[in-house]
Every structure is written in C-alpha cells, then in structure tokens.
Amino acid sequence: VRFPEDLEDENTTFNPEYSHQVFGDDEVAFGYKGLKILLYYIAGNLSTLFRIEYTSKVNEKFDCVEADDVGSKIREIIPPGFCTNTDDFVSLLEKEVNFKPFGMLLHTYSVHNEEAGEDITYQIYKADMTCPGFREYHERLQTFLMWFIETASFIDVDDERWNYFLVFEKYNKDGATLFATVGYMTVYNYYVYPDKTRPRVSQMLILPPFQGEGHGAQLLETVHRYYMSSPTVLDITAEDPSENYVKLRDFVLVKLCQDLLCFSPAKLMQGFSQEMVMEAQQKLKINKQHTRRVYEILRLRATDMGDAEQSRSYRLDVKRRLIGPYKKKQRELAKMRRCLRPEELTNQLNQIDINMQHEQLEESFQQLVSDYRRVLERLAQA
C-alpha cells in the first residue's frame, strides 16, 4: 500500500503460494463461509493491517463443532503492533515519507516500466541488526517467507553472522521521494578453518508484484560483488537451493565468468580445467561445482551443435560428469558380487538395469541442455 486508495485496489493484491506452514498440509481453514484473510502492508516500512471477513461461521452451541481460530494462527507469524482498524493504518501511511532504507547503499539500477512509460530506480542496501529500527522491520518482512517459500523458517537474528541485503524501489508521492520494499536476501557467514568464511545464501524473496523484472539477478550479482572484494571469503554457496534459484544463479555466474580469460572459446574447447576452478574461486568466489556448470553453459555457446564431431565431444564431456552416480552404483554392485548369495544378487541386479541407466542419462543430458539454452538466451538479451 502506497496510497489510501490501494486498500481497495485489486491490482495491488497478491495471493500466497503456500499456506501449509500456517494451516497444515491440507491448507484448509474449517468452519467458515466466504472467509477472507486480509493482510495489508505499507510499502516501505511494512506496518501491517490485519482483518478477517466472512459471511457466516459454524456455531459451537448449535452446530456442535468449533471453527478454526484463524486469528491466532496468523498472529503466530505476524509480530505484535499491527493495526486492526483501517483509520489507524491510514494515519501510519501518512508518516511513510519519513521511512528511509536501512544500512549501506551497495548498488543503484533502473528498469524500464512499459505501463508507466519511464525508467524506475531501484537500490540495494546491506543492513544488520545495529541499524535503528531494522530489527522490528525485519520481523515484519520475514512474515512473507511463510507464504512464498515452501520450507521457510524464521532465523536467529541475535546471531551476528547473518547479513541482510534489501532491494527498494524509489517512487514519488506529492513531490517527495519514498521507498517501497521489493525483496531481500539473508546470508549466513560460516567459518572455514583457519581464517576464511563461506557465505551461504539462506533465503531469498522478491515480492510477487516485482517478479519477472530482473531484481533477483541484480540482487544476487550485487551480493557476489560485495563478497568478491573480501580476501577472507573462500566462496559463496546456497542452502537447499530451489530449482528457480539454481537457474538464477546459473545466469548470474555465467554473466560474471564469461569475460575471464580461462573461459575464452579456445580454452573452453580444450575441456574443463583446474585453471578455471582457480580463477573463478580467486576472482569471483565461485566454488568448483558451480564453476563446472558455468563451463558447460559457456562451452555449449562455443559449440556448433550442428557439427557432428563438436556435438559428440560436448555430449560425452557432460555425460562423463553426469555418470558419476551410476559409476558409484556399479562399484556397489561389484561389492555385492563378492558378498551376496546368487539369489540375492539377482534381486539387486533387477533394480540396476543398465539400459534404464542409459535412458536416464540421456534424459538428464537433454534436460540440462534445455536449461542451459534458456540461460544463454537470457544472457543474449541482457
């Protein structure tokens, strides 16, 4: 909500992707007709208005059943101090002009908005719990995780090893410049013996009204660039990354790596090398596993897949990596031959069909190439 009229505007409304963490696996609230759970957030500081509406509700006295206490379920995840009255919320909205982003400005960029017919400016900040008011703001911000990340959990903000990176949109209201929350990322700095750290991306969310505009890539690249300048950082990883995050990371890392000398077309065609691993880690804080994916994507770009020899060479190169788990199964099978009785061995062999392995390997390869092509298409448009 930026203006009072946004309270009635369906265009500013968005729905949760998940509600199982609040309402159980069935995502059901029992005992209501026409139930609406309404959460309004002021765009910048995220002050909250919470209301429940319904047309009817089961009555314990007459229906002998009790409706779910929806209010208490929501209050478990939103911090105290929220409004329940629209007038109170609108009076807070008038003070929004005083809200300023927290922490240190890292990056400013703009995105052209077709609807508005102009470029809109965005800024990325790094904050921590010593910033006045940030602790309370973060409590309100993290409530979005419950609705948009399937396995979300709230973090221990008293642990000083957390870093917070925030994206804001700059907008004008009555001649003043205001800021709207776009999204954020939390990063935990793990200790690596003897004197390094390994930042691990924990949670990342771009709010639905801003998705598909490139903010996730801007945020991830800014975070990488922030850590790249630190001699104590070994490399950057992610905790249990989603499929979408992996695609985003592929794009950002390829964009960062494509100009390194070790990824020149000539060197790509010679195969994956230790030089690539070293340079990507030292200059860009990228680990070996991610560097290998970057190599495969950039080698695909340098390969003429219409040329039988080049195409075969690329396919074999990627499949050599993909076959790792299958080779492990074969080693296990060799052990079984030494240990199991013939009838037990036959049972195990039935589970490890070689033809099936080849089919799965080819399927994995084709899926990977499809994903890689999408990264290269996005890169060509960037």
Strand ranges in 31-103 using DSSP code E only, listed in sequence order: 32-33, 36-41, 48-53, 56-57
CB 46 within 8 A of CB 79: no
Burial of 359 (0-12, 13-18, 19+ CB in 10 A): exposed
How big is the CA angle at 107 (ends 103 and 112), to the nearest 5 degrees? 125
Q: Which amino acid is at 147?
A: W
Return the bridge partners of 118, or none.
Answer: 113
Please list the helix, strand and coil fractions of the chain in percent, rounded to the nearest 5, in that order. 50, 20, 30
CA quadruple 223, 224, 227, 228: dihedral sign: negative
Q: Which of these is catalytic: 239, 344, 362, 377?
A: 239
Q: Please compute Rg for the chain using Cα positions.
A: 26
Measure the CA–CA gap between 166 and 215, rounded to whole angstroms.
11
Measure the CA–CA gap between 289 and 276, rounded to whole angstroms.
11
The verdict on whether omega for the bond into residue 194 sits within 30 degrees of 0, i.e. cis, is: yes
Measure the CA–CA gap between 29 and 34, rounded to whole angstroms.
11
Return the bridge partners of 123, or none.
Answer: 108, 168
| Residue 160 appears among annotated catalytic residues | no
Cite the active site residues. 239
